[in-house]
Amino acid sequence: MTANPEDLKLIQRHIEDEVVCYRELIQVVERERDILLSRDHSGLPEQAEQKMGIARRLHESRLARQEVMSRLSPDPASPLRLRDLAGLLPAAERGIFRALLQRAQALAESLAAKNQANARFVQEALDTVEQLMDILSGRDRSQTYDQEGRRNATSSGPPRLLTREV
């Protein structure tokens, strides 16, 4: 199958735009991490806005790329995959295209890992706060010892490590 070279160039430009978006999102997620680790969380709303704007651009670029790719597919029920496109390119351009795809994949994986680390940090902080609120409000009725002074066999859950902010 031969493809319109202009369509292939357009797909490549969309992938390059996606790479730029991934890089920008990684920077935002790293700033989020720094804010989460600091005592001043006032910068989080701005980072969230930036993240949403970049994610919107990434989504639009993907949709535009997928539209062009659907035009190239001989079977609309089975759209082309990105790795299939390399075979449609001239031999001299295949290596560059594959490297671009690998870069996009690596950045997407890095972004996902960093974002998940931030999410875990936030969830652990929320779990700790919830557990402390349960203890303070008396909702946590689990006792280490029963009324006769014998140690309970059931644990109140996994131990939590709390750090003291200085």
Residue 46 has pLDDT above 60, yes or no: yes
Rounded distance, CA 114 to CA 149, Å? 47
**For a pLDDT cut of 70, what percent of the chain falls above it?**
83
Look up tokens 């402390």; give the residue: 132
Let me know if residue 147 belongs to a domain: no
Write the single-letter amino acid at 55: A
Give the model confidence (pLDDT) of 7-33 as tens digits.
989 999 999 999 999 999 999 999 999
**Domain range for 104:** 5-137
What average pLDDT does the structure give for the chain? Answer: 85
Q: Is residue 158 part of a domain?
A: no
Mean pLDDT of 70-98: 84
Is 11 part of a structural domain of the chain?
Answer: yes
Residue 119 in any domain: the answer is yes
Tell me whether residue 149 is in a domain: no
Q: What is the pLDDT of residue 106?
A: 97
Q: Quick one: what percent of the chain has pLDDT higher than 90? A: 48
pLDDT in tens, 144-165: 666 676 766 555 555 555 555 5
pLDDT at residue number 25: 97
CATH number of the domain where residue 45 is located: 1.20.58.300
Q: Work out whether the CA dihedral 60, 64, 65, 70 comes out positive or negative.
A: positive
Residue 157 within any structural domain of the chain: no
Does a structural domain hold residue 13?
yes
Who's near 121: CB < 8 A, 6+ residues apart? Answer: 33, 36
Phi-psi region of 104 (alpha: psi -120 to 50; beta: other; left: phi over 0): alpha
- Give the three-class secondary structure for 79: coil
Instruction: Give the pTM.
Output: 0.75
How many domains does the chain divide into?
A: 1
**When comparing pLDDT for 100 and 86, which is higher?**
100
pLDDT at 160: 52
Please answer whether residues 16 and 61 qualify as being in contact, where contact means their C-beta atoms are separated by less than 8 angstroms: no
Distance CA 8, CA 89 (A): 7
Give the DSSP letter of residue 86: G
What confidence score (pLDDT) does residue 140 get? 62
Sign of the alpha-carbon torsion through 45, 49, 54, 60: positive
